[in-house]
Amino acid sequence: MKKNGFSINELKRDLKKMDYHYMAIELTDVCNIGCQFCCNVGGKKRGVLSEYGLQILLNMSKELDFKGIGFTGGECTLYPYWERIKKIVREKKIVYSLITNGYWAKNFSTTYELLKELKNNNLNSITVSYDDYHREYVKEQNLKEIIKCTHLLNIPLEIQSVTFTDSNLRWLNELLEDGYDLRITFFSRI
Ligand code: SF4
pLDDT in tens, 80-98: 999 999 999 999 999 999 9
Give the pLDDT confidence score for residue 122 in this predicted structure. Answer: 97
Question: For residue range 109-163, what is the model confidence (pLDDT) as tens digits?
Answer: 999 999 999 999 999 999 999 998 899 999 999 999 999 999 999 999 999 998 7
Range with the lowest mean pLDDT among 105-109, 110-114, 164-168? 164-168
Regarding the beta carbon of 35 and ligand 1, being less than 6 Å apart is answered yes
Domain assignments of the chain as residue spans, ordered by start: 21-29+41-187
Regarding the beta carbon of 97 and ligand 1, being less than 6 Å apart is answered no
Regarding the beta carbon of 99 and ligand 1, being less than 6 Å apart is answered no
DSSP string of the chain, one letter each residue = -EETTEEHHHHHHHHHHHT--EEEEE-B---SS--TT---TTTTS--B--HHHHHHHHHHHHHTT-SEEEEESSSGGG-TTHHHHHHHHHHHT--EEEEE--TT--SHHHHHHHHHHHHHTTEEEEEEE-SHHHHTTS-HHHHHHHHHHHHHHT--EEEEEE---HHHHHHHHHHHHTT---EEEEE---
Within 8 A by CB and 6+ apart from 156, the residues are 124, 125, 126, 150, 183
Residue 23 confidence (pLDDT) above 80: yes
Measure the CA–CA gap between 8 and 63, rounded to whole angstroms. Answer: 8
Residue 189 confidence (pLDDT) above 90: no
Nearest atom within ligand 1 for CA of residue 134: 6
Mean pLDDT of 52-61: 94
Measure the CA–CA gap between 160 and 30, rounded to whole angstroms. Answer: 19
Q: Which amino acid is it at 186? A: F
Sheet harboring 183-187: ordered strands across?
A: 22-26, 68-72, 96-100, 123-129, 157-162, 183-187
Give the pLDDT confidence score for residue 45 in this predicted structure. Answer: 58
- What is the Å distance from ligand 1's center to 1 Cα? 41
Q: Which among 112, 117, 189 is positioned nearest to 146, based on CA atoms? A: 112
Please give the mean pLDDT across all residues of the chain.
Answer: 89
Greater pLDDT, 94 or 176:
94
Regarding the beta carbon of 28 and ligand 1, being less than 6 Å apart is answered no
Let me know if domain 21-29+41-187 sits in CATH 3.20.20.70: yes
Residue nearest to atom 4 of ligand 1 (CA): 31
For residue 4, what pLDDT band results from cuts at 50, 70 and 90?
low
- What is the Å distance from ligand 1's center to 123 Cα? 21
Regarding the beta carbon of 38 and ligand 1, being less than 6 Å apart is answered yes
- What is the Å distance from ligand 1's center to 109 Cα? 25
- What is the Å distance from ligand 1's center to 134 Cα? 8
Residue 3 confidence (pLDDT) above 70: no
For residue 18, what pLDDT band results from cuts at 50, 70 and 90?
confident
Range with the lowest mean pLDDT among 2-6, 74-78, 100-104? 2-6
Regarding the beta carbon of 189 and ligand 1, being less than 6 Å apart is answered no
